[in-house]
Amino acid sequence: MQPLINRYVPKTTKEIFGQDENIKKLKNFIVNFAKEKKNSALIYGTSGVGKTCSAYAIANELGLEVIEVNASDFRNAEQINQKIGNAIKQQSLFARGKIILVDEVDGLSGREDRGGIQALLKLIEDSPYPLILTSTNPFDNKFSSLRSKSSLIEFKQLDHLSIFKILKGICEHEKIKYQDDVLKALSRRSGGDARAAINDLQALAHEKKELAEESLEELSERNKTDNIMAALNKIFKTTDLKIAISAFDNVEEELNEQLLWIDENLPKEYTNPEELAKAYEMLSKADVFNRRIKRWQHYRFLVYINALITAGIASAKKEKYKALVGYKPTGRILKLWWANQKAAKKKDIAEKIAAKTHSSKKEILKSTMPYIPIMFKNKEMRNNIINQLELEPEEVEWLKGQVK
Ligand SMILES: Nc1ncnc2c1ncn2[C@@H]1O[C@H](COP(=O)(O)OP(=O)(O)OP(=O)(O)O)[C@@H](O)[C@H]1O
Ligand SMILES: [Mg+2]
DSSP string of 36-89, one letter each residue:
-S-SEEEEE-STTSSHHHHHHHHHHHHTPEEEEEEGGGGSSHHHHHHHHHHHHH
Give pLDDT tens digits for 85-142.
777 766 655 567 899 999 989 877 545 555 778 888 888 998 889 999 999 989 888 8
Q: Which ligand is nearest to the CA of 23?
A: 1
What is the rounded distance in angstroms from the CA atom of residue 257 to the CA atom of residue 337?
11
pLDDT category of residue 66 using cuts at 50, 70 and 90: very high
In whole angstroms, what is the distance from residue 65 CA to residue 203 CA? 34
Residue 55 confidence (pLDDT) above 60: yes
161 lines ligand 1 (CB under 6 A): no
- Which residue intervals of 190-300 are DSSP H helices? 194-201, 215-237, 241-245, 255-269, 273-296
Burial 68-103 (b: 16+ CB within 10 A, else e): ebebebbeeeeebeebbeebbeeeeeeeeebbbbbb
Q: Could you tell me if the CB of 256 is within 6 A of ligand 1?
A: no
Q: Which of 153-157, 158-162, 328-332, 384-388 has the lowest mean pLDDT?
A: 328-332
Average pLDDT estimate for 273-278 = 96
> What's the rounded Cα separation, in Å, for the pair 356 and 223?
48
- Residue with the bigger pLDDT between 336 and 349: it is 349
Nearest CA to ligand 1 atom 28: 9
Q: Are 74 and 108 in contact (CB under 8 A)?
A: yes
Distance from Cα 312 to the centre of ligand 2, integer Å: 28
- All domains in the chain, ordered by first residue: 19-154 (3.40.50.300), 160-226 (1.10.8.60), 238-329 (no CATH), 332-402 (no CATH)
Q: What is the mean pLDDT of residues 319-326?
A: 84
pLDDT band at 152 (very low <50, low <70, confident <90, very high): very high
- Segment 42-66 shows an average pLDDT of 95
pLDDT of residue 109: 55
Q: Is the CB of 138 under 6 A from ligand 1?
A: no
Mutational pocket test of ligand 1: of 13, 49, 136, the residue with most ligand atoms within 8 Å of the beta carbon: 49
pLDDT of 161 higher than 60: yes
pLDDT bin (cut points 50, 70, 90) of residue 340 is low
- Mean pLDDT, range 1-23, rounded to an integer: 94
Q: What is the pLDDT, as a whole number, of residue 221?
A: 65
Point out the ligand 1 atom lying closest to the alpha carbon of residue 19. Answer: 1
pLDDT at 34 over 50: yes
Q: pLDDT tens digits for 308-318?
A: 999 999 999 99
pLDDT at 330: 65
Q: How far is the C-alpha of 112 from the C-alpha of 123, rounded, in Å?
A: 18
Residues 288-297: what's their mean pLDDT? Answer: 85
> Can you list the alpha helix ranges (DSSP code H) found in 270-360?
273-296, 301-307, 313-314, 331-357
Residues with CB under 5 A from ligand 2 (ion): 51-52
Which pLDDT does position 376 carry in this prediction?
A: 87
Ligand nearest to the CA of 50: 1
Are the CB atoms for 190 and 163 separated by under 8 Å? Answer: yes
pLDDT tens digits along 215-270: 877 776 667 777 888 899 999 999 889 889 999 987 877 788 888 889 989 999 99
Output the pLDDT for position 277.
96
Percent of the chain with pLDDT over 70: 91
Q: What is the pLDDT of residue 337?
A: 57
Average pLDDT over residues 29-43: 94
pLDDT, tens digit, 9 for 90 and up, residues 167-225: 999 999 999 999 999 999 999 888 899 998 998 899 888 888 999 888 877 776 667 77
Q: Can you give the C-alpha Rg of the chain in angstroms?
A: 28
Determine the pLDDT at residue 110.
43
**Residue located nearest, by CA, to atom 7 of ligand 1:** 50
Q: On the CB side of 60, how many CA atoms lie within 13 Å of its CA? A: 14
- Asked if residue 136 has its Cβ within 6 Å of ligand 1, the reply is yes
Q: Is 195 left (phi over 0), alpha (psi -120 to 50) or beta?
A: alpha
Asked whether 48 lines ligand 1 (CB < 6 A), one says: yes
